[in-house]
Amino acid sequence: MDTEELLATCWTTAGDTAPDRDDQRSPLNLRARAEAAGAAGFKGIGLLYADLVEAEREYGLAGVRSLFEDNGLVHVELELLTDWWADGRRRSASDAVRRDLLRAAEALGARHLKIGPDVEDRPWDLDVWAKEFAALAAQADGVGARLGIEFLPWSNLKTVHDGLRLVEAAGHPAGGLIIDVWHTERAHTPPAELADVPLSRIVGVELNDADDDVIGSLFEDTVRRRRLCGEGSFDLPGIIAALRTAGWHGPWGVEILSDAHRQLSVRDAADAAYRTAVAVLK
């Protein structure tokens, strides 16, 4: 555990905001979030695109990088690009976000960029998606970052196996998966199957917990009712052991999303997320 480091994903320190809101920007300034993450013990931090725009306006990208470095945050994750497979107006809007994320990734020395699947689960063509993914992975590689896609059980990429099929078809070495344990558990993927994921295809891992029962839709449940690590029903020791068997040793992301977590001060939120994740990793 001494050599394993933790990354606070964007929602863990975002305060009173959530993915189901029209305005997803954090009400907190980036300095408070970075200081809270660093003080808690995190060695990395995630930033949502909407917050990246605000942070660049306030500090400049060089200032953001200095702020992270001053707080010991050496692993940077930027998210979330969607519609990267689309065309027309949706693709034009996506490409504008893509350019900003790539520019920021280079300036911040980001570890990786996170992208999403089609949450409307529309018909899709593997060959088309693989080609687009490979092109985007090459662009990420060009600025010194990796590209990770997060599969979601309500999307067109529902399981780790669906995601792996895409990234293997794309074939670019900079491309891989973001494995959020909430999604593997809700997709009923046995923890042991994670041991077979090639290490070269694991870009990031996100730890969290939840109760046995899903309340409402999967999206509502993931946004409102996640629990701190070790406080729910997930077999986190088994999941972590499987991922270590695959060769993963961090940085371990911690992504906590819940109504309760959003009401904590950013210091208390970061401390609780870090403390409970360290406990299950031990």
Annotated domain spans of the chain: 6-281
Structure tokens at 4: 């394993």
Backbone angles phi and psi of 8, in degrees to 5: -85, 110
CA dist., res. 274 & res. 147, Å (int)? 25
Say how many residues make up the chain: 282
In the predicted structure, residue 22 carries a pLDDT above the cut 60: yes
pTM equals 0.97
6-281: which CATH architecture? Alpha-Beta Barrel (3.20)
When the pLDDT of each residue in the chain is averaged and rounded to a whole number, the result is 97
- DSSP code at position 180: E
Start-to-end C-alpha separation, the chain: 6
Contact 188, 214 (CB under 8 A): no
> Which amino acid is it at 68?
F
Number of Cβ atoms within 10 Å of the Cβ of 53: 15
Angle made by CA atoms 233, 207, 204, in degrees to the nearest 5: 145
The torsion of the CA quartet 242, 243, 248, 252, rounded to 10 degrees, works out to -130
Per-residue pLDDT reduced to its tens digit, 151-171 = 999 999 999 999 999 999 999
Per-residue pLDDT reduced to its tens digit, 96-154 = 999 999 999 999 999 999 999 999 999 999 999 999 999 999 999 999 999 999 999 99
pLDDT average, residue stretch 207-220: 97
Q: What is the pLDDT of residue 1?
A: 42
Q: What is the pLDDT of residue 265?
A: 98
Q: What is the pLDDT of residue 72?
A: 98
